[in-house]
Amino acid sequence: MDASYASLPSDSAGLARATAAGLHQLHAGDYAAVVTTQGAALRSLTYQGRDLVVPSPAGQPIPDYRGVIAAPWPNRVADGLYSFDGEKLRLGVNEPERGCALHGLVFDREWSFSAAGKNSVTLSLELDPSRGYPFALHLEASYILDADCGLQWEVRARNTGNRAAPYGVCPHPYLVAGEAPLDDWELEVPASRFLEVTPDRLLPVRERHVGGDSFDFRSARPIGRLEIDHAFTGLGFDTDGTARVTIRDRANGSGVVMTWDAACCWLQIHTADKAAPAPSRVGLAVEPMTCPPDAFNSGTDLIVLAPGEEHTARWRINALAGAPDPTY
């Protein structure tokens, strides 16, 4: 992955159009994407007109956190309660059915465009101290679309306050392999362990090895009817310092790859199961995370930013194009 997003190209007219519309269209080769100010979210990503993520129509609320940035924590905090630096803190509970604080504080905020060009855009947000999170952060989300590499993006956080701050982040795209149902998609996940969770609240119980378990996708295989909403770890990073998830539509050989750097040592996979009549299993949520669920309480892989300290995490999505599986 590209090591730097410094000096993203920008033009004043493009920035003015993006700011007025609240969204920005990116183009590079056969790729196209739309990024919006709400949650600094990826609204759509296509390759040769084929969806690589489940799109969210412009002008409508973003359903199911599709494409948003989850910060300053990914996933959930049990009961919205945690302690930090000797202080007991209470976050708002926005997942009432499970009694949790879900996906941070910035997914429904309006970010500001600070740079925009034909194939790139940067958004920023000042997260001011609040009752449940009395810390100050400056956040920037930068997207760049490349004709060869697909969509690369990163989130940078800087502690602008005068005290240490707990922090975590992840993106929330729902990937699409092709036109076949999700059950028929082939999934490969380079993870040796997964986090067992409570069935009612999806809160951590213990880590388990994937060997011999239905969640073992270290070798590519069909998802089938398996319901997944679990965090994985023990990730296999390549020599270039990246890990990747691959999903493929075996019927036509199309697919999509999501890659990330070592800043994210956890990965949430969710098959987006919904009770009827809501649309179910429309895409596969793939969320590389810097820490596991409820890390504000467990402290597992929790980032603590000192005043003035910065953190950066990077991700990439690119298309796969191939031949159909002859055994399908």
- Note the pLDDT tens digit of each residue in 80-131: 999 999 999 999 999 999 999 999 999 999 999 999 999 999 999 999 999 9
253: CATH: 2.70.98.10
Number of domains in the chain: 1
40, part of any domain: yes
180, part of any domain: yes
pTM for this structure?
0.93
pLDDT digits (tens, 9 = 90+) for 17-50: 655 578 999 999 999 999 999 999 999 999 999 9
| Secondary structure element (H or E) that encloses residue 293, with its range | none
Give pLDDT, residue 158.
Answer: 98
326, part of any domain: no
Question: How far is it between the farthest Cα atoms of the chain?
Answer: 60
282, part of any domain: yes
pLDDT exceeds 60 at position 16: no
pLDDT exceeds 90 at position 3: no
Residues 6+ apart with CB under 8 A from 154: 5, 141, 142, 312, 313, 314, 315
Give pLDDT, residue 267.
Answer: 98
pLDDT digits (tens, 9 = 90+) for 165-196: 999 999 999 999 999 999 999 999 999 999 99
Range of the domain at 138: 12-320
Give pLDDT, residue 231.
Answer: 98
Contact 83, 77 (CB under 8 A): no
Of the candidates 6, 200, 17, the one whose C-alpha atom is nearest the C-alpha of residue 98 is 200
Give pLDDT, residue 60.
Answer: 82
Q: What is the mean pLDDT of the chain?
A: 93
Give pLDDT, residue 1.
Answer: 67
20, part of any domain: yes
115, part of any domain: yes
